[in-house]
Structure 1
């Protein structure tokens, strides 16, 4: 008979707390380091830039969290951002947009999101109906989506001037960036959806045990398609935000490597790669960590390539913690 000492129990509790609150601990360490070492970290302009970047990552990461909760993955989020971002300036610069500015503004907001919705339907149907592995299914749009965006724009940088549209990326409410408020509103809505609706219950059930959810009569196909649609629409919104910030659209750069940031943020925030869990606010925490790691390295003279390695290390650490929780 094995006797568990109080010291071993305390050690186990301490380790468990580290695993459960690793993200918050990592965030605290990064913040303290930047406050002490990085010049102008607490400057208003620096905070505004970081919040803007965090909001974009967080919006996509929340959608990615829903997809991961079903046991899937979406590699096409960056391409959807590029496609959505390419469509808006095309509408502004068209004869219709020039002749009818108000209708052009509405169209520039709605049509890119509609295109993103179609992309999500495409991914969801291939995954749930044709039974193609998610990583392969979404790889199709990962490759073709950005190509379509570049064809639409002839590979050219599109610049425009529309203060109303630019407010999406540069506006502020009570001194806080508008896209930050938007990200928080989306988080609250998705948190309610996941925890208070039938869709949310089936979403987690599918990720936990898809076969059992199907045998119980759950709308597995519909919920999976819904998760991919939400992810793509949020990616399209993020693409519009990036374009609004810059008042320009570059199909080759908009959303580039966002799939890496979104997956990293979701996993760091507590999403389980095998599915069954959708920590929406955890995705925001993960986005903050990912952005601050990138900012910290660049602000202290570390090359961007090293930041990519750091992101990969963060994902590896998060996956290791997930595995450790199972033991």
Structure 2
């Protein structure tokens, strides 16, 4: 005779786990689809090309930074410094092509250096984050808090706290230009996403990143160079933050060290969490991060377009993060 009393709870737990796993895997896509349907039905001019352009150009820097954040979180770390690194990159670039650093103004060489040097500088700062985490074994949230606080101060000191307004069509192409009708920054976003997805899926380094986040001790015993892997992801995160900083100032035709990248670390972490990457490490869902970034951007646009204040949008964003983390935890424990 079958013991139905014991099998029923097991079936119930299994069913609940399936629901949670489905929510964890497809919940972000479902949220994105619901936002699209709602906006098509309610928000005026949502399907206009201008609306599409605005949302794509707003989300591109978030995706670029969030991809770097995904790699860091996959190793079990976190990077709070990305917003400040954007400010540093955004402060240095105009100083180069406006002739304040090398005396070469608005030339091809100056613009080229303005694209390269700021990114290299913030990659060094990213290495510094990784150095604190690996050499001194400082918790990532504390180690990156150093540049979260000091980084924006560095940018402010470099510019004497002044707004840098400029007009440089060559440089601004990264933020305003189009190729075959597609915004240049969106193309750059796609390239970054493909690179990161290929890195995780097809390379030894990608497997090492996941191994370090999944079980650092086991990875070390297996011969994975844990310190080098951790330093690498912080360098990549710094470099991508630097690129995002260039996009933002190019789009605005101005660099303000007080505002560039402000709050970006929260948007990036939110995109990663909503996208399904475990904040405890051991997983990197690049596609989920991209969808998560679009959900956050579209949610914010939806609220603002329908008269909801920005403060309320931040509350909803926080609620989304809590819900995403809750579903992940329940799916793993059930």
Indicate the TM-score class for this superposition, using the shorter chain for normalisation.
over 0.9
Q: Note if 1:54 corresponds to 2:38.
A: no
SS in 1 for 2:161: coil
Cα deviation, residue 174, structure 1: 2.5
Is residue 2:298 matched to residue 1:286? no
The yes-or-no answer on 1:312 pairing with 2:318 is yes
The 10-residue stretch of structure 1 (29-38 or 75-84) with the greater mean CA deviation from structure 2: 29-38
- Are positions 1:31 and 2:36 aligned together? yes
Does structure 1 retain, via aligned residues, the 8 Å contact 2:175–2:250? Answer: yes
Tell me the distance in 2 between the aligned counterparts of 1:100 and 1:180: 25
Map Cα deviations across residues 220-259 of structure 1 (whole Å, 9 max, x no partner): 0000000000001000000000011011101101000000
Is 2:176 the counterpart of 1:170? yes
Residue 204 of structure 1 corresponds to 210
Alignment of 1:1-327 (within 5 A): 1=3, 2-4=6-8, 13-94=18-99, 96=102, 98-99=104-105, 101-326=107-332, 327=334
Structure 2 CA distance, aligned partners of 1:13 and 1:271? 18
Do the aligned residues in 1 keep the contact of 2:17 with 2:331 (CA within 8 Å)?
A: no
Offset at residue 12 of structure 1 (A):
5.8
TM-score by length of 2: 0.94
Q: Distance in 2 between matches of 1:86 and 1:12?
A: 49
Residues 114 and 22 (structure 1 numbering): CA distance in 2 closer, same or farther, change over 3 Å? Answer: same
Query: Alpha-carbon deviation of 1:99?
Result: 4.5
- Quote the Cα distance in structure 2 between the aligned partners of 1:247 and 1:89: 10
Ranges in structure 1 where 5+ consecutive residues have no aligned partner: none
Q: Structure 1 residues 99, 320: closer, same or farther in 2, change over 3 A?
A: closer
Aligned with 2:141: secondary structure?
Answer: helix
Q: Is residue 67–residue 224 contact of structure 1 (8 Å, CA) maintained in 2?
A: yes
Distance in 1 separating the partners of 2:76 and 2:15: 34
**For the residues of structure 2 that align with 1:22 and 1:160, how far apart are their CA atoms?**
43
Contact residue 92 and residue 160 of structure 1 kept, 8 A? no
Structure 1 distance, partners of 2:105, 2:299, is: 45
User: Equivalent residue of 2:78, what SS?
Assistant: coil
Aligned-residue Cα RMSD (Å) equals 1.7
Between the aligned partners of 1:93 and 1:290, the Cα distance in structure 2 is: 35
> Which one is further off, 216-225 or 176-185?
176-185
